[in-house]
A and B are shown apart, each in its own frame.
Chain A
Amino acid sequence: MTAAAGARAAPSTGLPDDRWTRWDTALWLAPIVAFAVFSDRLELGRDVVIAALFALSLDIVLGYTGVVSLGHAAFFGLGAYTAGLLAHHGWGEPLTGLVCAAAVAAVAGYATSFLVVRGAALGQLMITLGVGLLLHEAANKAHALTGGVDGLGDIVMWRLAGVFRFDLEGRTAYLYSLVVTFAAFLLVRRVLSSPFGLSLRAIREGMARMPALGVPVGRRLVAAFTLAAALAGIAGGLQAQSARVVTLDVLSFERSATVLIMLVLGGAGRMYGAFIGAGLFMLARDYLARKDPVYWQLWIGGLLIVVVLLARGGILGLVETLRARRRTP
């Protein structure tokens, strides 16, 4: 638990409330406005949306359930390779490809979850890390299947719903990713506001007490982990389909670490934390890498340290603190 404590400092309290508010409208209008205004940067926009979905999937296990994962890219990568391989071998239909990606990742997540629920925080860290590294090396060795470090190319996508071609400007890919992510968001929000979601939060707050209240902790964790894996698989599938190339870094430790950083940056366990973190991180990275292509990582590091020091619970945590302070002068 200790490792996760920093990430989840001061989680939001109160009963879940999934009523649609003005804030929701405003936040979801942002990517749509971005589509129109930044119509020449849709590639980056698509990557932000996909990263947000990936971070959201991690939020289910890390933010809401309190299971620390350092190998979440394993499921992202499985989804990416599933969708990529299908299209590479002639089945370029996007939606079914995505379903397959989710299914493969979910099965892997289900299988892994039994290992993960056995461990405490540090154990979980090690197990997820190990699974991630294993898959990375397996994909590297299976050069005939995955193309190894050189990557899997020749991915030909059919038209989306038989109508929309994946264009060079990335309009289709962006809207496709956005709609899928929105649907996933609605699902996650519904699930996490349900009694099931509440029990996940309860497990995070006090795992030892839950069996006494009649909550089957192990089964809940398995379910949460499987759902998270499936969503990560969808994110990976989206990435493969819209980038039309899959390289080994979809399974890399760096990807697992980056998504964790995004989530912590935005605020774990807060629904929109994944979106804000992914947006901020990706845009900052893009901006800095453009300004200073050689030493940009230095500036990213500095930014992260500042945010972690000044904003406990990420950006959303900071917002909550400020609002609470205003209410009680």
Chain B
Amino acid sequence: MSHPAFLRAAVTAVALVGAVSCGKKAGDDGKGGGTLKLGVILSLSGPFADVAKQIQGGIKTYMKQHGDTVAGRKVEVLYRDSTGMAGEVSKRLAQELVVTEKVDFLTGFGLTPEALAAAPIATEGKTPMVIMNAATAIITSKSPYIVRFSLTLPQVSAPLGDWAAKNGIKKIATLVSDYGPGHDAEAAFIKAFTAGGGEIIDSVRSPPQNPEFAAFAQRIKDAHPDAVFVFVPAGQQSVAVMKSFQERGIAEAGIKLLCTGDLLDDHQLATIGDAALGAISTHHYSVAHDSPENKAFLDAYRDANGAEAGLPNFMSVAAYDAMEGIYRVVQKLGSGKIDADKAMEIFKGMSFTSPRGPIMIDPETRDIVQTVYLRKVEKANGELRNVEQQAFPNMKTPAPAPGGEPPRPPGGEAKGSAEPPKEPAKGSAEPAKGSGK
């Protein structure tokens, strides 16, 4: 190449940048205190779109019920599509929402990889990040600006392991989705179950994306346990698991189904059909929960989303509660830029009665503390419902292991740590028989 021409090009370039960026700086201004911007990162397209739909439904319900202005500020919701379990996309979107859109809150986060990837942005950009679903235990430890309104899998899996051991189940096989939440669920369940004297005879993990469950179902049938414990992400996969189990005759083989509520999520229960009857699960929300708050929520959900949207599930409820949390923070901080540190102080210890029951944000971990219910699928008025049988109030997420390392499944991503989650906080894991229904 001819060098003078190249040099000239370089000089022009430098001059241009100088000129344009000078012109640009003059018109730069800070974050406006007028509208309240919420950046919502969700997997709006692809196989996990169901999750996004539920969360959108929850947000819509809350805003229809409580108005789209808070403390005199108009609430603007900016949806961004993370395309699925693609952390890099989610991270870029979070960065853009913080840098370009100057959002006051980052929220959404249906899937663990989305939340983990975006966590550093919350820290660097000093923006509160409100988790509406992603349920791996370690997420809140990844940034001091993360607060979670959904659940963690150890929180809901451990009571089930405990219950199984106490109710005459001796041998169990586990089937979990092979990513953070699945590892968490597996570790917490196994720990509680074996501590109660049970035996795990097989543990299989299914791919988190596009799995085919027939082979897993067959393997479980061949192992012939007393019961099988299952966690897969709610949505399409839960239906697929139930269909495979039905085809392979898991129930006929006398194998009981135990699972987290993800598998029997209220929205999908009608699709799953009678195959779900009698299944035992633990979770924090059921549409059958009998409380005035839940009745009001269900009515508002139908009102905001239409009857054809079907039933809400635990994700809609978490999104609904997260919005309540955000509104409360804004009401306290008033107009002007949301200060992340002040916002987190308000989130810490926040408590109110959600459609799912009483909830509280743990001031230590910024994670949710809530009642977990043991439920059984029954038919009421011709419709399948997760009917609450027993309540475990004030369930915390297991505390981080000593040494600052968060609890994680064996072979987790952080260096050197292979500690399974610690036992649920003492005193809170005791089943409180009869306090729920």
Residues of A within 8 A of B (CB): 18-21, 24-25, 28-29, 32-33, 35-37, 39-41, 43-44, 47, 88-89, 140, 143-144, 146-154, 168-170, 239, 243-250, 289-290, 293-297
**Distance from B275 Cβ to chain A, minimum over Cβ atoms (Å):** 28
Q: Given the interface contacts A150-B413, A151-B413, A247-B85, does A36 sit within 8 Å of B16 by beta carbon?
A: yes
Contact B415 A89, beta carbon cutoff 8 Å: yes
Whether A151 pairs with B113 at a CB distance below 8 angstroms is: yes
Closest to B81 in A: A293
Q: How far is the CA of A47 from the CA of B89 in the complex (A)?
A: 10
Q: Which residues of B contact A289 (CB under 8 A)?
A: 80-81
Q: What's the Cα separation between A166 and B91 when bound, in Å?
A: 15
Whether A36 contacts B2 in the complex (CB less than 8 A), given A43-B96, A149-B209, A170-B95, comes out as no
Is B329 part of the binding interface, using a Cβ–Cβ cutoff of 8 Å? Answer: no
Bound CA–CA A118/B411 (angstroms): 38
Q: How far is the CA of A244 from the CA of B16 in the complex (A)?
A: 30
Known contacts A169-B99, A170-B99, A239 near B81 by CB under 8 Å: no
Query: Size class of B's contact patch?
Result: 35 or more
| Bound Cα distance from A25 to B121, whole angstroms | 35
Question: Quick check: is B412 within 8 A (CB to CB) of the other chain?
Answer: yes
8 Å CB contact of B178 from A41, A148, A169, A170: A148
Q: Does B13 touch A at the CB level, under 8 Å?
A: yes
Q: Which of A20, A154, A295, A296 lies in contact with B6, CB distance below 8 A?
A: A20
Contact A40 B99 (CB under 8 A): yes
If over half of B's interface residues share one DSSP class (helix, strand or loop), that class is named, otherwise mixed; here it is helix
The docked-state distance in angstroms from the alpha carbon of A29 to that of B14 is 10
Interface of A is mostly: helix
Cβ of B100 within 8 Å of any chain A Cβ, yes or no, is yes
Q: Are A168 and B125 in contact (CB under 8 A)?
A: yes
Contact B16 A143 (CB under 8 A): no
Whether A243 contacts B125 by the Cβ 8 Å rule is no
A43, B95: Cα distance in complex, Å: 7
Q: Are A143 and B95 in contact (CB under 8 A)?
A: no
List, in ascending order, chain B residues with CB within 8 A of A169's CB: 99
Cross-chain contact B113 with A150 (CB below 8 angstroms) = yes
B92 contacts A by Cβ under 8 Å? yes
Task: Determine the chain A residues whose CB is within 8 A of the CB of B8 once the complex forms.
Answer: 25
Q: Does B120 contact A (CB under 8 A)?
A: yes
Contact A249 B116 (CB under 8 A): no
Docked complex Cα distance between A58 and B41 (Å) = 31
When chains A and B are docked, how far (Å) is the Cα of A89 from the Cα of B91? 21
By the criterion CB–CB under 8 Å, are B116 and A153 in contact?
yes
Q: Are B44 and A294 in contact (CB under 8 A)?
A: yes
Check B81 against A25 for contact (C-beta < 8 Å): no
User: In the docked arrangement, what's the CA distance between A295 and B85, Å?
Assistant: 18
> Can you show 21 pairs from A to B with CB atoms below 8 A apart?
A21-B5, A25-B9, A32-B13, A35-B17, A39-B21, A41-B100, A43-B99, A140-B178, A143-B411, A149-B85, A149-B179, A151-B113, A153-B117, A154-B414, A168-B98, A243-B91, A243-B92, A247-B86, A293-B44, A294-B45, A297-B45
